[in-house]
Each structure stands twice: as structure tokens, then as C-alpha cells.
Structure 1
Amino acid sequence: MTNNTDFRIERDSMGDRSIPSNVYYGIQTLRAIENFAISGLKPLPTYVNACLYIKKATAIVNGELGCIPQDISQAIIQATDEILAGNLRDQFVVDVYQAGAGTSHHMNVNEVLANRALEILGDEKGNYKRVSPNDHVNYGQSTNDVIPTAIRIGGLLALTNTLHPALEAAILALEAKANEFQDIVKSGRTHLQDAVPVRLGENFRAWAYILTEHQNRIYTASGDLMVLGLGGSAAGTGLNTHPQYRGRVVEVLSELLNIPLEPTPHLMAAMQSMAPFVNVSGAIRNLAQDLVKISHDLRLMDSGPKTGFKEIQLPPVQPGSSIMPGKYNPVMAEMTSMVCFQVMGYDNAIALAAQAGQLELNVMMPLIAYDLIHSIEILGNTISSLTQRCIQGITANQERCVAYAEGSLALVTALNTHIGYLNAAAVAKESLETGKSLRQIVLEKGLMTEADLATVLDLEQMSAILPLS
């Protein structure tokens, strides 16, 4: 209850504490703030939203089932809606690195909702005899089933709102560039050495296909997130829950989120195993690895302008040097690699945390929650930025591309079936030593006629991809 205009007194099992009157969190959150002054990192908004959706669904169901009074149920529902709409977002304050399993963050959510519900009912913040964070907001729930459910919901929200739209836009942009550059022939390179000619457009089409396949893998992996252990309560037995609660709360969550969720066949297993999160994180990491490769390719192909490949021009978005005038760097590609490295690091941390559970619970869930959702969101934001500020503005240096293709010693590969491997190798060696073209040497040695040679060394034909038979 309110003590004076500046503070209210709250009590928990450890004693009394003064809480600033203007805040909506309570005594357990205050203790967490004091205990975990670690990183300054606060819960991700998407993770908070996931918790709020769970609290809204549980309030609806517990009100329907008569487990909590209807007026309290409606007040909690209104409080969640207000916060989802943007109010009181600064009240979720517990550091990412906190009490095992996420109890501190969970109670932060419960306390904020309880205190806002009290205001809605015309009462004072802190009067937990009227609306309790534990007995009403958290009725039939435990940190141990709410937090793994929140990670699932948070992951699905992040994928739906951030990563999948970013991938779809990137794939479309790469396909557009593939069509734009389809007739441009360039030198292929393997081992960073000259290789047979390829189409510049097919480079971009290959990247589009790679991202499409990654998106499919992520969709498959994310199916694991749709199976919920909510209703398991403290240890997966469903203690203190209504018999109809488990199935009904998942139905309501599905309706709120428009996601086809389902209850797990085994509550205890869903609480103990972090495998769904490891699976999704692995798919995200796999995408990040190929994005590094693509970003490095873009940097190589744009290298120069005088001493590198300079087959393409990435759009300059900012000056590249504090000392060298006129220098522009491939900063969007560089940023992409850095984010991908961070995502790979998060994946390793998630794997370590996932194997660190004991018996009925994995207490490392707060780390998994932050790293998984953050990975999805920063990678999605990165892909969006790369698409809009790099890929869509790429132009081709066709003259440079063709010059490299025509000058590549690897063109000799096309001669193998006509003059034999050893003769072709000798021609390549002589070309490298003398500077003469492959065409000139073959004609001088009388190995082929000029007409046949023109057909065999047709760059357009050599770089065309053979159709499936």
C-alpha cells in the first residue's frame, strides 16, 4: 500500500521494501534490479510481447473457467492490450543475465500487469490482496512452462515479422538482378584462380536459390516452435491447473496470434528439452554462413576500382575513409558479415545453454530467449538493409567482365575434347609465358581451323547453363 507520495511499501517472503510510487513493477523486480546489474541489456520487445500474449490468453481462459474473478480477468486483459499497444514499455527492466529459468523477468511481467489491473479497477498499485501477481496474473502457471512457451512465441513473431519478409524481398531483388545481368559473361573463379566463363546473372540467381532453400529450412525448423508445453506448471504435471485449461489456453493463443499452435503430447518433455530452439538456431546459423559467403563475394567483385576485379559497382552509401578522399567502401556487405558472425556466436551459446539443463528444468532459458530472438531480428534487419541499400542498386561493369572472360586461361578447358588435355595444357602454358592468346597459339600450331575454334571458344555458348535432360 502507499506509504507517502514518493514510495509504496511492498512485502514478499523475504520482507518489506520501499518501491517508487510511479513504477508498475514490484518488489521481486526491484530485487532483480539490485541482484543483476550485469549488462544493461533489457528484454527484447518481441520477447515481452510474447509474454504478454501468454498472459492475455491465460487471463481469458482462467476467467472463462472461473479460476479467477471475471472483473480481475478483464482488467488483466485490458492491461495486456494497453502494453501491447505501446504503453508502459519502460517497466520491463530486468537484465538479460538474471535468475535461472527467467523467474525475475516473469515476475516483472506479472507485477506490471497486476499493478496496471489494480489501477483499471480503481485501486492502488501494490494492493496485491485485490489483484495478485502470483495468485491472479500467474494463476495455473509457472516460470517453468511460461518461459519456454514465450521463447517459442517470440521466435515465431520474430520470424514472421522480421526474417521471412526480409528474405522474400532479398530473393526478389536477387532474381531481378539475375534477369538484368543474364547476358553478361564474366570469368568464373575457383580457388581464386581463373576458371571457365559464367554468366553474371547466374551468380545472382544462384544466391537467390541459396536464400530460398534456407528459408525453406527455417520454415521446417520453426514447426517445432508451434508445439507448446503451456499448462505443464512447475514440473510438467499440470499441478494447480484446471483440467480444461491446457487445451483451451493453446486454442486462445492460436486465435490471438493467428498461428496454428498445438499442445505438446508430453508436457514434461517440452519443459526439459531445448531442442526446438537449437534446431531453429541451427537453421539461422546455416543461413548466416552462406550470407557471409555472399557478402564476401560482393566485396571481391566490387574490389578496386583500379587494382581489383571491379566487375560490379555496389552503391556507395557513405564516405569510406577519414584520410583518403574519394574512397568508398562496401560497408553494407561488411556489416552483413559482422552480424552473421554474431549470429554464429549466439548459436554456439544456445547450444551450450541447451545441454546445461538438469532433471525437470533447464535454468539457462533467459540466455536462449535473448540470443535466439535477437539472432532472428538482427539477421532480418541486416538482410533488409543489404537488400535496400546494396543489392537493389548494384550495377555491372560489362566491359570489365567480358575482358576478364576473354583473357582467362581457363578457356582452354573447352579445347580438351578437340585437341586433347596435354595439347590444351601446353597451349595454356605457352600463352602464359608469351602473352599470346589461346586462339593465336592454336591456329599457329594448326591444332584447329579458325571456324571450329570460333565455335568452340564462343563465350555465350560456354557460359550457358545446360538444361536438365
Structure 2
Amino acid sequence: MTQPSTIRIEHDAFGPVEIPADRYWGAQTQRALDVFAIGEERLPTCLVRAFGLQKLAAARANHRLGVLEASLAAAVEAAAREVWEGRFDGHFPLVVWQTGSGTQTNMNANEVIANRANECLGHALGTRSPVHPNDHVNRSQSSNDSFPTVMHLCTALELRDRLLPALRLLHDTLAAKAVAFDDVVKIGRTHLMDAVPMTVGQAFRAFAAQVASGIERVEAVAPRLHRLAQGGTAVGSGLNALPGFDAAFCAEVAALSGLPVIPNPSKFEGMGAHDALVEVSGALNVLAVSAIKIANDIRLLGSGPRCGLGELVIPDDGLSSSIMPGKRNATVAEALVQAAFQVVGNHATVSAAGASGTFELNVAKPVLIHNLLQSIRVLADGSRVFALRLVRDLDVDRDRLAGNVANALLLATALTPTLGYDRVAAITRKAMSEGLTPRAAAIALGLATGEEYDRLVDPVAMASPAAGGRRDPDA
């Protein structure tokens, strides 16, 4: 009995190509696989799926404008929707390291959709008829405007559906801890040294404010991200696309995705430069810096638990040392910091790639979007895990904090308006050199009685002087 062949022969303008029989890609994709044997990094699935959305909207726009007949448009739409839904993720094998316009990935999408459309119409894979990857799936398009359009769509969707929900979760979790710890007085630290009192809630409110500002930065770039280059075709002039294709395309994308996209008024800018994407990366870079600050502060405040600062109690994540039984580490905070390092590095790559527009085309699109989407992904996942696996169950060691406050030298700062700077400095020097509390030192120097000291030095009032000692949640 003859076994079915494991390969098929497909032809394009350059001749025959052998392709695995069960793969939906075509000749151009197979040729690219052979040419670009560089590394293992593939473009993320969210970009592949965004190509499904882009091809679906293009088919609808072409049909609306009368340049794609109904039966072919319906077949292309159905196949493109399947790509958008993730049914063909495994049929996009190309690495990031390809032509800087992303032409091979655009053709990969054209070929997969054409083959699937033809299959649904009763034809074998590789026939290129009645649906042709270039003539029909890529109608009114070029890789040069399609790939940047997909870059914008994918980024906008990932920000909306992945990053912003994770950031809001982290913000709300930090804000909840600020309220929970608002009555807990601690000693602030400047230059890594003891300073004056504050509350744990104030520290967490600062963390929440950093995340809130990060959310605002991400949201602020959206109007520029929603401008699409589609319709510019080869160089931005719109050659081979009917007038109105860009507007029809954007209307279809908006209806399908809910994104308020509009045609870029300068297709030349949208294809030759990617400033909006660099701007997104800049906002992510700031978020990464914030994440490093927040995660490091929390893990340092939780250091110990007996021989470090030990002010925060890090929740048990079930992980431990390979040699020290029962050792508990701030692993989730460390993971977030490492993810943030990656984002900072990615931003350097995105900046260099964004600067690689030469005349009418940027030729570093795949590496730019690869790094940008990775930044979104690790920040979103890291923020969510950090919120749920660490911040949510954080606690404070109230006894440790109370002891620190009682023994803090710089509580004496509250005496400065009454005694003057030099006398208070004498109190802190004596307390430091003799191992006394500042209260005992002030009494020993005859500068204040115990009653006077207790009246003037109130850690709660010092933590919120503007509120008269009341810890204002909005302070």
C-alpha cells in the first residue's frame, strides 16, 4: 500500500519548493526558513494573531470597495479569523532575524490564509487558486504598510488587554496595603540611614503612586499608537490601493477589535519611522525603573527575618534554599527585578531599531516589535505575579517597628524648634556615643524633662505634621 507523501511540491514565481505536506505555509515561507537560519527566537503568537485581524479587516475593506468578489472575500475572512483566533499558531515558523520590513512574516500570513481558504473551498494545499496569497489575501497591501500596522495593532491590544489590567491590579494591591498599614509608624531612611518617622502606609502609597503614573504614561501614548500606516502600500503613496481603502480598513478593525484606530495622516511617517512604538517602550522603561525601586525596597524591608531590617514579613512562596533548610527568600521580588532589567535592555534595542528608518522605510521592524512585545509581556506577568504572590499577603512586624521607633536617634529632630539645631545635635551625639535613647540623652544633658520630651516628641505627629498627627489617606 502506498504511503501518503510527507511533502508536497508548491510553485511560485521562482520555481518549485518542497514543503511539509501538513504545513499551511507556502513557497516564500519555506524559502525564508532556509535563508534565515539565524537563532531560535520567533515572533510572539500575539503578533501572528494580529496578522489574522489585519488580513480579515483588509478582506472586508477590499470587498466593500468592490475589488474582492464576495465568495473569495468570505473564504479569506474565514481563514483569517481562524489565524486571529490562534488556530494556526504552529504554522508561523519564521525567526525574528529576517528582512527588516517583516516581508517574510507578511507572506507567511498570506500563504497560510490562502491555503486554508482554498482548503475550505475544496482545493488542496499549495494550489494558490482560487485564492492567491498575493492577488487576494495581500490585495491593496504591501509588507511595508501591513507589518507596521500589525505592530501597532498588536501593541495596542497587548497594552489594553494584558499590561494595563496587570498594572491596575498591582496599583490596587499596593493601595490596599497602604490603607492596611496606615497606622503603623516606622523610621524613614535617607542615604540608607535612619531619618525621621513616617508610616508604612505612606511608603506603600508612594509605591502605588509610581504605578499610577506608569499607567498614565501608557495610556497617554494610545492616540499615536492608534494611527495606522495601512493604505500606504510600498512607500507611503498608496500605489495599488483604492482611495478610501485606509479609512475602510480602519473602520473594519475598529468594529472587530474595539480599538479606536484611524488612518495615519502621513503614511510616509508611519512606514519610515516608528516613533510611537519607541514612545511606548519609553513608558515601559519608566515602569521597569519603578518596578525595580518598589521590589527592591520591599525585599530589603523584609530582609532577615532576624538579622536584617525585618520590618516587613514576606509571605511564604513554598520555595527554599538548596542547602539551608527552611530559608525563605524574596524570590518573586527578585524575578520582577530581573524582568525589569530585561525591559531596560529592550528599550535600548527598540531605540536603536526605531532610529533605523532609512528614507521611506524602517528596516528593523521585526527586532523592534520582538523586544517591545517581550517588554509588555514580562512587565504584565511580573506585575501580576508580584501583586498576587507577594504584595497581597505582605505583613508588618509591629514589634520590630515599635522598637525601632522608640530607639531612633532622629526623633530628637522634633526638639529643634524649641532647643535649636546645636543642642539637638548634642543630644543625638550623646545618645549615639553612649548607647542611650534620645529621651535619656536629653534628660541627662538637662535639656528637657521626661514630660517635656514626651510632649514634644510624638512619632505619630511627626509622621504626618501637616495633618496634626493624623494619617491622612490622601497625604
The TM-score with structure 1 as length reference comes to 0.97
Q: Counterpart amino acid of 1:115?
A: N
Deviations 1:31-73 (A, max 9, x none): 1111222222222111112111110000011112221221111
Offset at residue 5 of structure 1 (A): 3.5
Does the CA-based 8 Å contact 1:272-1:359 persist in structure 2? yes
Asked if residue 359 in structure 1 is aligned to residue 359 in structure 2, the reply is: yes
What amino acid maps onto 1:51 in structure 2? F
- What amino acid is aligned across from residue 343 of structure 1 in structure 2? V
Alignment of 1:92 with 2:84, yes or no, is no
3-state secondary structure, aligned to 2:319: coil
Query: What is the CA–CA distance in structure 1 between the aligned matches of 2:12 and 2:85, rounded to whole Å?
Result: 30
Aligned to 1:268: 268
Quick one: distance in 2 between partners of 1:170 and 1:420? Answer: 44
Please give the secondary structure, in 2, of the residue aligned with 1:392.
helix
Does the CA contact (< 8 Å) of 2:427 and 2:445 recur in 1? Answer: no
* 1:65-97 per-position Cα deviation (integer Å, ceiling 9, x unaligned): 221221111001111222333322200110111
Structure-2 change in CA distance of 1:216 and 1:342 (3 Å):
same
2:451 counterpart residue number: 451
**In structure 1, the residue corresponding to 2:436 is in which secondary structure?**
coil
- What does residue 27 of structure 2 align with? 27
Mapped to 1, the partners of 2:272 and 2:389 lie a distance apart of: 43
Match of 1:315 in 2: 315
The DSSP-based 3-state class of the residue aligned with 1:466 is helix
In the alignment, which residue of structure 1 is the partner of 2:435? Answer: 435
Q: Residue in 2 aligned with 1:101?
A: 101
What is the CA–CA distance in structure 1 between the aligned matches of 2:199 and 2:179, rounded to whole Å? Answer: 11
Query: Aligned equivalents of 2:408 and 2:386: distance in 1?
Result: 31
- In structure 2, the partner of 1:145 is 145
CA distance in 2, matches of 1:269, 1:465: 53
Which residue does 2:470 correspond to in 1? none
The answer on 1:218 being equivalent to 2:218 is yes
Measured in 2, the distance between the counterparts of 1:73 and 1:456 equals 80
- TM-score normalized by structure 2? 0.96
In 2, Cα distance between the equivalents of 1:29 and 1:243?
31
Deviates more, 1:359-368 or 1:455-464: 455-464
Where do residues 167-246 of structure 1 align in structure 2 (5 Å cutoff)?
A: 167-246=167-246
Between the aligned partners of 2:86 and 2:53, the Cα distance in structure 1 is 14
Cα distance in 2 between the residues matched to 1:325 and 1:132: 64
1:121 paired with 2:139, answer: no
Q: Give 3-state SS (helix, strand or coil) of 1:187's partner.
A: strand
Which residue does 2:52 correspond to in 1?
52
Do 2:167 and 2:383's aligned partners in 1 also have CA atoms closer than 8 Å?
yes
Distance 1:84 1:253 in 2: 12
Tell whether the 8 Å contact from 1:226 to 1:262 is kept in structure 2 after alignment.
yes
CA distance in structure 2 between the aligned counterparts of 1:79 and 1:437, rounded to whole angstroms: 76
Name which of structure 1's ranges 137-146 and 243-252 shifts more when overlaid on structure 2.
243-252
Offset of 1:129 from its aligned partner?
Answer: 3.6
Instruction: Report if aligned partners of 2:102, 2:143 keep a CA contact under 8 Å in 1.
Output: yes
Could you tell me how far apart the structure 2 residues matched to 1:282 and 1:455 are? 50
Does the aligned pair in 2 maintain the 1:187–1:402 contact within 8 Å? Answer: no
Distance 1:179 1:19 in 2: 61
**Aligned partners of 2:408 and 2:437 also within 8 Å:** no
- SS for the counterpart of 1:197 is strand
Secondary structure, in 3 states, of the residue corresponding to 1:101?
coil
Count matched residues: 467
Matched-pair contact (CA < 8 Å) for 1:75–1:121: yes
In structure 1, what is the equivalent of residue 295 of structure 2? Answer: 295
Amino acid at match of 2:118: L
User: Aligned partners of 1:455 and 1:98: how far apart in 2?
Assistant: 72
1:18 alignment partner, SS class: strand
Consecutive unaligned residues in structure 2, runs of 5 or more:
468-473
Tell me the secondary structure at the aligned position of residue 47 of structure 2: helix
In the other structure, the counterpart of 1:255 is: 255
CA distance in 2, matches of 1:26, 1:303: 56
Shift of residue 465, structure 1, vs aligned partner: 5.6
For residues 402 and 244 of structure 1, the distance between their equivalents in structure 2, rounded to whole angstroms, comes to 69
Deviations 1:403-422 (A, max 9, x none): 11221212122121111111
One-letter code of the match for 2:370? Answer: Y
Does structure 2 retain, via aligned residues, the 8 Å contact 1:159–1:377?
Answer: no
**Is this contact kept in 1: 2:59–2:73, CA < 8 A?**
yes
Question: What is aligned with 2:158?
Answer: 158
- Structure 2 CA distance, aligned partners of 1:248 and 1:273? 23
For the residue of structure 2 that corresponds to 1:38, the secondary structure is coil
- Match of 1:417, SS state, is helix
8 Å contact kept, 2:118–2:129: no
Match of 1:280 in 2: 280
Contact 1:412 1:438 in 2 (8 A): yes
Contact 2:408 2:438 in 1 (8 A): no
Q: CA offsets per residue over residues 358-395 of structure 1, 9 Å max, x none?
A: 11101100011111112111110110000110000101
Q: Secondary structure at the match of 2:380?
A: helix
Matching residue's letter, 2:243? P
Distance in 1, Cα, partners of 2:20 & 2:290: 50
CA distance in 2, matches of 1:59, 1:336: 41
Q: Which amino acid aligns with 1:292?
A: I
Q: Distance in 2 between matches of 1:221 and 1:452?
A: 56
Cα distance in 1 between the residues matched to 2:383 and 2:414: 38
Q: In the alignment, residue 320 of structure 1 is paired with which amino acid?
A: S
Q: Distance in 2 between matches of 1:125 and 1:42?
A: 24
Compare 442-451 and 191-200 and name the one that shifted more: 442-451
**SS state of the match for residue 321, structure 1?**
coil
Instruction: Give the AA of the match of 2:402.
Output: V
Residues 302, 313 of structure 1: 8 Å contact kept: yes
Write the mapping of 1:10-89 to structure 2, written as runs, cut at 5 A. Answer: 10-89=10-89
> CA shift at 1:320, angstroms?
2.5
Identical pairs, percent: 35
CA deviations on 1:337-365 (whole Å, 9 max, x unpaired) are 00000011110000011112211101100
Distance in 2 between residues matched to 1:39 and 1:161, nearest whole Å: 30
* 1:414 corresponds to: 414
Residue-by-residue CA offset, 1:417-441 (whole Å, 9 max, x unaligned):
1111111111111111101211112
Question: Does the 8 A contact of 1:29 with 1:107 survive in 2?
Answer: yes
CA RMSD, 1 decimal: 1.6
Task: Pick closer, same or farther for the CA change 1:465–1:289 going to 2, 3 Å.
Answer: farther
Do 2:214 and 2:283's aligned partners in 1 also have CA atoms closer than 8 Å?
yes
Distance 2:89 2:394 in 1: 40
The 1-side partners of 2:465 and 2:117 are apart by 65
